[in-house]
Amino acid sequence: MLIKNAAVKGPQAFTGDILIEEGKVTALGRHLFAPAEATIIDAAGKAVIPGLVDVHVHFREPGFEQKETIKTGAAAAAHGGFTTVVAMPNLNPVPDNVADLKRLVAKNHSDAKIHVEQFAAITSGLHSNELTDYAAMKAAGALGFSNDGVGIQDAATMYHAMQGAAAVNAPIVAHIEDNGLMAGGVISTGSKAQAFNLPGINHVSESAQLARDLTLAEATGVHYHACHVSTKQSVELIRDAKARGVHVTAEVTPHHLLLDYEHIPANDPNYKMNPPLRAEMDRLALIEGLADGTLDMIATDHAPHTAEDKAGDFKSAAFGIVGSETAFSLLYTSFVRSGKFTLNQLLNWMSTNPANAFGLDAGTIGIGQPADLTLVDLDTPFTIDANTWYSKGKNSPFIGRQVFGKVMTTIAGGEIAYEEEKL
């Protein structure tokens, strides 16, 4: 494959041609020659960016295929410009043993055109206090361990999990939430919980458990990754822990960066997710945390649900929103087009940093690197339209927004994983 007239963005910015052979970039330069049978892609007028990396998606297979499958989830990610994603284990059966994990890893590979990595469960069944076999599951392909969807309630369980993960040099990827403090809430405490008469979620339900975890991470030396950080206090705790040398990385979602609870227009479950949209001061602290490196990366927490699961109001609907097909355009528009941040910064947060944090062979365009890259139209505005999505989930608060940064072509491992249909 030869990509001609590529305006490459990111750390290795240049303009020219990219030659791809056997899944890798083999030459960069001007007027490169391609063999007669090569696929030629003209990138004139588009930006070429490193394939995006999303370390937090829910593909729902096996167990909940009505919400998403590996195939539809991976197609949605490719449509969003992602070439590598990491899938969460809140599935049925839960990948908490070698046999189920191996089946899942094989299916991630066979059903997806992009790279799909897998987190396995920290504890058996995701809810128990019984640790899974980290050495065996790492050998079977687990990138790390997570009970995403539910926090580890017992400190001793988390402590021993961290010791076990550290011993096999694997990360603990934490959904941080104290169930007692969450107290059955469905929306952040504050004006909207009052206006809609809904039970509130206190922000300390995240930060109290995070403080515990950072203490345990420091004691065990594990790589601790904080999922979907959502409060000002959490940002401060991570900033302090990093200053002390704790091996902690952290992600923030597009929705927590772009929305706070004041933006919730009505008792509409497309704004319901875990953790909830917090206060404006929290949102501003997340942006500041990203800017100063306290938060390392952006991850979507793509959480597809059926229309039935998202029907009704905040009380009855499932937690979670989709994110794969809107993340880049939303953030490019709000952060880069607005002049607040550079495209380089956004690409660090959406590609280079997550790849580096999890040791993934991704995140840069260079000779010898995997040919994972995305062509985007940065200049033509378009409207977010769920009818164009590959995900089975249409649960998003961003439908109808006007944005820039449309993904035109996604190439993963030298193969086309998504291509915008030409008129």
Ligand X SMILES: NC(=O)N[C@@H](CC(=O)O)C(=O)O
Is 319 labelled as part of a ligand binding site? yes
User: Which of ligand X, Zn ion, none sits in contact with 206, Cβ below 5 to 8 A by type?
Assistant: none
Minimum distance, C-beta of residue 150 to ligand X, in the bound complex (Å): 7
> Cβ 332 to ligand X, closest distance in Å?
23
175 binds Zn ion (CB under 5 A): yes
What is the nearest approach in angstroms of Zn ion to the Cβ of residue 103?
21
54 is annotated as contributing to ligand binding: no
Annotated ligand binding at 90? The verdict is yes
Q: Which does 198 bind (CB under 5 to 8 A by kind): ligand X, Zn ion, none?
A: none
Question: Nearest approach, Cβ of 171 to ligand X (angstroms)?
Answer: 16
Span from 33-41, 170-178, 331-339, 397-405 in contact with Zn ion (CB under 5 A): 170-178
- Residue count at the site for Zn ion (CB under 5 A)? 3
Tell the smallest beta-carbon distance from residue 32 to Zn ion (Å).
41
Q: Mark whether 309 is an active-site residue.
A: no
Taking CB under 5 A as the rule, does residue 301 contact Zn ion? Answer: yes
148 binds Zn ion (CB under 5 A): yes
Cβ nearer to ligand X, comparing 260 with 372: 260
- Is residue 260 marked as binding? no
Alpha-carbon span 72 to 74, nearest angstrom: 5
Q: What is the three-state SS of the chain?
A: CEEEEEEECCCCCEEEEEEEECCEEEEEECCCCCCCCCCEEECCCCEEEECEEEEEECCCCCCCCCCCCHHHHHHHHHHCCEEEEEECCCCCCCCCCHHHHHHHHHHHHHHCCCEEEEEECCECCCCCCCECCHHHHHHCCEEEEECCCCCCCCHHHHHHHHHHHHHCCCCEEECCCCHHHHCCCCEECCHHHHHCCCCEECCHHHHHHHHHHHHHHHHHCCCEEECCCCCHHHHHHHHHHHHHCCCEEEEECHHHHHCCHHHCCCCCHHHCCCCCCCCHHHHHHHHHHHHCCCCCEECCCECCCCCCCCCCCCCCCCCCCCCCCCHHHHHHHHHHHCCCCCHHHHHHHHHHHHHHHCCCCCCCCCCCCECCEEEEECCCCEECCHHHCCCCCCCCCCCCCEECCEEEEEEECCEEEEECCCC
Q: Is 225 annotated as a binding residue?
A: no
* Residue 232 interacts with, from Zn ion, ligand X, none (CB under 5-8 Å by kind): none
Backbone dihedral angles phi then psi of residue 119, each to the nearest 5 degrees: -90, 140
In this structure, is the dihedral angle defined by the CA atoms of residues 87, 89, 94 and 97, taken in order, positive or negative? positive
Q: Give the nearer residue to ligand X in terms of CB position, either 7 or 150.
A: 150
79 is in an annotated binding site: no
The region of 44-52, 173-181, 282-290, 402-410 touching Zn ion under the rule CB under 5 A is: 173-181
Beta carbon nearer to Zn ion, 213 or 301: 301
Q: Is the Cβ of residue 96 or residue 301 nearer to Zn ion in the bound state? A: 301
The catalytic position among 17, 54, 178, 301 is: 301
Annotated binding-site residue? 228:
yes
Q: Give the residue nearest to Zn ion (CB).
A: 175
Alpha helices by DSSP H, listed for 178-249, are 179-182, 191-195, 204-220, 232-244
Residue 292 CB, shortest distance to Zn ion, in Å, is 24
Comparison of 149 and 200: residue with beta carbon closer to Zn ion: 149
Does 59 belong to an annotated binding site? yes
> Which single residue is written with the structure tokens 């900033």?
239
Nearer to ligand X, 66 or 383 (CB): 66
Residues that bind ligand X (CB under 6 A): 58, 90, 148-149, 175, 273-274, 301, 303, 319-320
Q: Would you name the residues annotated as active-site residues? A: 301
Residues within the interface to Zn ion (CB under 5 A): 148, 175, 301
Binding-site annotation, residues: 56, 58-60, 90, 148, 175, 228, 274, 301, 305, 319-320
Binding-site residues for substrate = 58-60, 90, 274, 305, 319-320
